[in-house]
Copies of this chain bind each other. A is one copy, B any other.
Amino acid sequence: MDRIVECVPNFSEGRDMRVIESILEEIRSVHDVVLLDHAPDQSHNRVVVTFAGEPAAVEEAAFRAAKKASELVDMEKHHGEHPRIGATDVVPFVPVRGATIADCVEMARRVGARIAAELNIPVYLYAEAASRPDRRRLPDIRRGEYEGLKSTIGEPERRPDFGEPRMHPSAGATVVGARRFLVAFNANLNTPDVKVASAIAKAVRESSGGLVSVQAKGVFIKEKNLAQVTMNLLDHERTPMHRVLEMVRAEARRHGVEIVGTEIIGLLPLSALLNSALWYLQVDGFSINQVLDLAIQK
């Protein structure tokens, strides 16, 4: 596959495995889509599903899954600890390869319009696909949750982006959007002093004057008896892993501390690692077609 988009929808069912399996089956039924993970949570009573593939196929799989969830999940009977407004609660599209965030915004708009038109579910656009600044963040859209939104959806500032301002009687409302791939990257230090990790985190993260699109905090890792700078890279293309790591290293040296190792949590796009390989190896004039494994998969 030349072009890859990831989709990480949340559905409001974390207990009935038959319902979850039926939703997963819809995703598996689409060619050129691979189901990568699903994490049901009983106390939150929701499941986070991860799948990826060719953009048009991912778009179709997202719609089919939302349709199935609207048939099987009844929000009138739903209880769980996690905030939610609908059976298909949120559907983010994430660019991985050969697709831009703008492509994912378009996917979100198309799927959102289709969910509203074909399933009669009101849809809100969020994150990079948001139509208004106050809809960029999920908590703002989820305010009042399913139960509260039933009465407030008619208010001007709560009108959905697609569909009538009227909750679906059992499936509620759905949030659809586009966001960048989040790379979870942690650096372990040769000190147990969490104050050093916190000082480094403060220097590195966007919120206190560091690198844009980087979130960071210092934590103590008991099993290893060392301090760690735990980070989220929210835009690894603009602020790549190597730049973040070298800044952590520079700040650590200020404290006479070294990085003993790093961890990558969960999935990441191949490009994140390749970009750092080419930077550290100082390679000029490289084409991705020089990678044999990729050249034969064209």
Contacts and interface: CB of A to CB of B under 8 A. Distances in A.
Given A34-B295, A34-B296, A296-B4, A283 B261 contact: yes
B245 A292 contact: no
Interface string A272-298: 011011101111111000111111111
B294 A270 contact: yes
Interface string A250-283: 0000000001111110111110011011101111
A291 B268 contact: yes
Contacts of A4: 292-293, 296
A36 interface: yes
A1 B298 CA distance: 12
Nearest to A279: B280
- State the main secondary structure of chain A at its contact with B: mixed
A143 interface: no
How many copies altogether? 2
Contacts of A285: 263
* Nearest 9 Cβ contacts at the A-B interface: A277-B277, A280-B280, A34-B296, A270-B293, A273-B277, A261-B284, A267-B292, A262-B282, A276-B277
B283 A264 contact: yes
User: Interface size class for chain A?
Assistant: 35 or more
A268 B280 CA distance: 17
24 contacts: A6-B292, A36-B292, A36-B295, A52-B296, A96-B293, A97-B293, A188-B284, A242-B281, A245-B282, A261-B282, A261-B284, A262-B281, A262-B282, A262-B283, A263-B284, A264-B290, A267-B290, A268-B291, A270-B292, A270-B293, A273-B273, A273-B277, A280-B281, A297-B297
A188 to B, nearest CB: 8
Contact of A52 (B273, B278, B281, B292): B292
A278 B268 CA distance: 13
A241 interface: yes
Interface in A22-53: 34, 36, 52-53
Given A6-B292, A262-B282, A274-B274, 16 more contacts: A1-B297, A53-B296, A96-B292, A242-B280, A259-B282, A261-B282, A261-B283, A262-B283, A263-B283, A264-B283, A266-B290, A267-B290, A267-B295, A269-B291, A273-B273, A277-B277
Contacts of A282: 187, 245, 259-262
